[in-house]
Amino acid sequence: MILEDMYYGNWHPSEQIKSTDPESQKVNQKISEHMEMLKNKLSEVDFEQMEVIFDLLNESTSLHSAAAFIHGYRTGALTMIEVFSEEHESIPKRG
């Protein structure tokens, strides 16, 4: 149950997303190839610094994804409020 998982802190939507877009797989493959190439060209210290940058980029992307999720959820909730509010307005009052 989603609500129970949310309550206990076990609901992590970002971990459930698995891209089926073939373009995503191509991009990830290119990243891996370039990382391997740079690992062979850069000094160990320089490569470690690059890995730190990638970790920070991942963290930034995760924060942006969370903000987008919250915005989308709020937009959906506001849409439902509007839908139900208009439904009640269109129902003729008795009496």
Global pTM value: 0.63
| Token pair belonging to 88 | 């009640």
Q: 51 by DSSP, 3-state: which?
A: helix
How far is Cα 94 from Cα 89, in angstroms, rounded to an integer? 13
Rounded to the nearest 5 degrees, what angle is found at the Cα of 38, between the Cα atoms of 56 and 35?
A: 55
How far, in Å, are 39, 83, 85, 95 from residue 88 at the CA level?
Answer: 63, 9, 5, 16
- Tens-digit pLDDT profile for residues 22-80: 999 999 999 999 999 999 999 999 999 999 999 999 999 989 988 998 999 999 999 99
Residue boundaries of the structural domains of the chain: 44-95
Return the higher-pLDDT residue of 12 and 94. 12
Q: Give the residue with greater pLDDT, 37 vs 10.
A: 37
